[in-house]
Amino acid sequence: MSTDAGHLFHFRKRHRLADDDHFPRPKHRRLAGDHFHRRLHEPRPLFQAVPCCLLRRPPIPPEAGVSAFDMGNFLSNACPGCMPRDGGLGLYRDWADASKDARDLTVATRDGVGLGRRVLSRRISDPRKAALQAAVPPWEKREPYYKDALKKARLPDKRLGEIEVEVRLKLEELDELRKPKEDLSPFFIPLTDEDEKNVYDCLYGSGSSNQVLVLHESSNIEISKEKIRCLRPHGWLNDEVINLFLELLKERGTREPKRSLKCHFFNTFFYKKLACGKNGYDYKSVKRWTTHRKLGYELIECDKIFVPVHQHVHWCLAIINMKAKTLQYLDSLGGNDPRVPEMLARYIVEEVKDKSNKEIDINSWTKEVVDYVPLQQNGYDCGMFMLKYMDFLSRGASLSFGQEHMEYFRKRTVKEIIKLRAD
């Protein structure tokens, strides 16, 4: 061996260290096998895309149930410098599940497929063939079973092609059904430059947070700068903003009866008052809410009765559909709470009996979980989805909106509250 060749051989040869304590490895140098060794023996994080703070699943903060809660600020403080890709939806689902008032709420995954361990079983169709294969000497080369199975799985299947065509046709039919058959332009009127400026001043302008922006005299609801700021992106909607918007929907129905159904909108305190008495259901606590003197009509005359339901950290909507004789439940997380329609069924029977002296056969009614509603894709827009369910359905329109419209709806709600008029 020449000198150069020997030098090259010696250079490439790697000696194994007998003891790392006696021969410490410099931090700035690594041997060739270090990376492979680390991958085999060092644990790696399972969810690199998820911030480490959210893997710990922080509990529900106390301020979440007290006033307007900014989910974006909470996520930023929990994990400075990063925002989860799902907008906090995963964390929000956990909070909704863990809520005491929403312990029966079932949440569907985004793709509708549950997670869990999958058990595969293999059945031997021909025992004679299996016995012959087992009798083959081990030294004889034969193709592994998984390769044979892979080849069979890749064989062209005529039925797969037929299924693909059927799926494509079904998707086309679904797209046709989803196309709005009515004019939805009134729900998506662009904001003018002046509207944009006024909205920005309300949400981000200087001045005292206690400054009262508007006062709705008939309901005595006043909205300050602090309260309206819940309509910023990532904010949780508070009771005052929701209740004032419901008052504006009532006035719109009176102002435009031909364009609206005859509806009644309960405020955010009604269901809690009805369902959280000393013994649970308590009709007497809400009996005086719907006198003819206060409303000017009776609930039996309405087409739809909207009931906001607050599941501790999550807004849902219940509808007593008097015209269709159904009790509907709409949840922007795709969940269900069977207690809500049960409570409202008892309520409407007693209410009609007390105010109109009529009997309702509630057993003939249908209880429906509306599963074709638009769903939220983050952890802070449930209140806006609930308001828009009522906004569209009170006019008999289809729910033709989605997560991409929430930023516009927040700004539009600010504009309508400032002007005390729902368009």
Range of the structural domain that residue 400 is part of: 185-419
Say if 156 falls within a structural domain. no
Tens of pLDDT along 64-86?
766 578 888 887 777 766 777 77
In terms of domains, do 86 and 189 share one? Answer: no
Alpha helices, DSSP H only, in 263-381? 270-275, 292-295, 339-356
Q: Which of 80-84, 163-167, 297-301, 366-370 has the lowest mean pLDDT?
A: 80-84
Read off the pTM. Answer: 0.68
The residue with tokens 């997670």 is 115
- Return the H-helix or E-strand segment holding 172: helix 158-178
Predicted local distance difference test score (pLDDT) of residue 133: 58
How many domains are contained in the chain? 2
Predicted local distance difference test score (pLDDT) of residue 118: 38
Return mean pLDDT, the chain: 80
DSSP type of residue 285: G
Say if 345 falls within a structural domain. yes
- CATH number of the domain that 195 lies in? 3.40.395.10
In terms of domains, do 93 and 191 share one? Answer: no
Residues designated as active site: 314, 331, 382
Q: How many alpha carbons lie under 13 Å from residue 78 in its C-beta half-sphere? A: 22
- Return the H-helix or E-strand segment holding 224: strand 221-224
Instruction: Extract long-range pairs of 192-199: CB within 8 Å, 24+ residues apart.
Output: 195/411, 195/415, 196/411, 198/414, 198/415, 198/418, 199/411, 199/414, 199/415, 199/418
Predicted local distance difference test score (pLDDT) of residue 108: 37
The residue with tokens 């979980």 is 369
Tens of pLDDT along 190-249?
999 999 999 999 999 998 989 999 999 999 999 999 999 999 999 999 999 999 999 999
Say if 405 falls within a structural domain. yes
Q: 105: closest CA among 382, 390, 406, 401?
A: 382
Say if 293 falls within a structural domain. yes
Selected residue with higher pLDDT from 352 and 46: 352
Start-to-end CA distance of the chain, whole Å, equals 93
Rounded to the nearest 5°, which phi and psi values hold at 315?
-95, 130
In terms of domains, do 197 and 302 share one? Answer: yes
In terms of domains, do 95 and 189 share one? Answer: no
Angle, helices 406-419 vs 193-204, to 10°: value is 90
In terms of domains, do 378 and 233 share one? Answer: yes
Confidence of residue 111 (pLDDT cuts 50, 70, 90): very low
DSSP type of residue 74: H
At position 46, the amino acid (one-letter code) is L
Which of 40, 74, 102 terminates a domain? The answer is 102
Distance CA 110, CA 104 (A): 19
At position 382, the amino acid (one-letter code) is C
Predicted local distance difference test score (pLDDT) of residue 113: 37
Say if 179 falls within a structural domain. no
Sign of the dihedral defined by the CA atoms of residues 60, 62, 67, 72, in that order: negative
In terms of domains, do 293 and 387 share one? Answer: yes
DSSP type of residue 336: -
Say if 369 falls within a structural domain. yes
Predicted local distance difference test score (pLDDT) of residue 165: 83
In terms of domains, do 75 and 223 share one? Answer: no
Distance CA 176, CA 172 (A): 6
Beta strands in 162-273 (DSSP E): 212-216, 221-224, 263-265
Distance CA 297, CA 356 (A): 11
Distance CA 370, CA 169 (A): 24
> Would you call 399 helix, strand, or coil by DSSP?
coil
Which of 68, 86, 102 terminates a domain? The answer is 102
Distance CA 85, CA 37 (A): 32
- Return the H-helix or E-strand segment holding 275: helix 270-275
Inter-residue contact 307 to 317 (CB < 8 Å): yes
- Could you tell me what percent of the chain has a pLDDT over 70? 72
